[in-house]
A and B are shown apart, each in its own frame.
Chain A
């Protein structure tokens, strides 16, 4: 009796398929790994055999990953899906999540954090269908809502989860209102999507019910997905902070930096670091370097300090000023030294904006 999970990897690059295979064989469950290089082959194989997980590249010729995922989502709702891409494009990420993928990974992050990647895959494989997993429950409820909208129905859905009760109003195939405890409208719908173990019943339509939701279901889902990994009821400030965080990390990954630390001029202001453990020691050095260099510049009468570069066999370290702070950016040894200054400025500008 075959008990091993089956994983299908779809990518148009043969080398990458080999890398994935090597990675995935390290999983403790020793899953059966199959690879295909086109969307059509993937769909045929999924039709022929049951798979537990699909790892799908997004950028492919002819049928791209988003098209494959959109078909897979409808035809194989139980299949777990992971979108993989080499491009840190926010649009790709949003569209993939809107299609209901379980995870979105950059290939560079996957190679950089293989252990974390494997743990995520293991966790996905370990999840039982429909048990205590927000996404699964969300999808079940969403399927019902989608069906109501597709059929252009008018109805009221009463949803329960334990002692919690919520209602959704649908009119002529449009989601017009939701109520959960003390919240209504979009906020209520957002909360509802996070409920676990939901049960629902259809009540008679209320045509006179006041419309409070104007956005489409896809827009609401996209917003919900973008906040799903945070605390349940994130404040706008937290949402903004999270967005900044993702943008910054994307910029770091895009430029290929190892770490970034921001060091305010004043010693009492806290330095912050991403990708570096001991930011305080580095910050102390950065302040010393700047102060000493500026003093030397005054003695030489050599004009303003533009930037400082430190070299070692392990990395290059660039200090550039921006937005009232000094950015200390670590670059891997293989980074092109002729482009480091320009890249550091780009990264600092993205960070500051």
Chain B
């Protein structure tokens, strides 16, 4: 039986792309989330940090933004500014869900 366990350990884990939304305050602290708990929180924290930093730097560049969409081949991240914090939507893209890209509309 030991030899079967040995084979089982070698299978790589496949992580699904996250789906759902979460809100963060102005300091990037996670307030609420609908993203599955199996997903590591540090990734959500990092996403929030990037989004808040881009909002902040856009203001500094005199190009203030209220919404931001990051479009990847497999994932669409849409962020909307909320009183200094943000609400962030994570939508996996697949063949049955056309790329949202600019079609997602403005804030």
Q: List residues of A whose CB falls within 8 A of some B CB.
A: 278, 281-282, 284-285, 288-289, 292-293, 295-297, 299-313, 316-318, 333, 337-341, 344
Contacts and interface: CB of A to CB of B under 8 A. Distances in A.
Interface residues of B, number: 37
Contacts of B58: 285, 310
A338 B100 CA distance: 9
Contacts of B18: 300
Given A285-B58, A306-B99, A307-B71, A296 B50 contact: yes
Interface of B: 15, 17-18, 43, 46-47, 50, 53-54, 57-58, 60-75, 77, 92, 99, 101-107
A313 B18 CA distance: 29
Given A296-B47, A312-B63, 20 more contacts: A281-B62, A282-B61, A285-B63, A288-B54, A288-B57, A292-B53, A296-B77, A299-B43, A302-B92, A303-B74, A306-B99, A308-B69, A308-B71, A309-B69, A310-B68, A311-B107, A316-B102, A337-B103, A337-B106, A338-B102
A294 to B, nearest CB: 9
Contacts of B60: 281, 285
A338 B107 CA distance: 14
Nearest to B49: A292
A222 B40 CA distance: 66
Contact of B102 (A289, A296, A318): A318
B65 A296 contact: no
What does DSSP make chain A's interface, helix, strand, loop or mixed?
Answer: mixed
Residue from B70, B101, B107 whose CB has the most chain A CB atoms within 10 Å: B70
A293 B77 CA distance: 10
B66 A313 contact: yes
A300 B17 CA distance: 7
A296 B47 CA distance: 7
Nearest to B14: A301
A329 to B, nearest CB: 11
Contact of B71 (A295, A305, A316): A305
B57 A306 contact: no
B93 to A, nearest CB: 8
B73 A306 contact: yes
A304 B64 CA distance: 26
Given A278-B62, A281-B61, A285-B58, A309 B74 contact: no
Contacts of A341: 101-103
Nearest to A286: B61
A308 B62 CA distance: 18
Nearest to A336: B102
Contacts of B68: 308-311
A346 B106 CA distance: 21
Contacts of B17: 300-302
Contacts of A337: 102-106
Given A288-B57, A293-B50, A316-B106, A310 B65 contact: yes
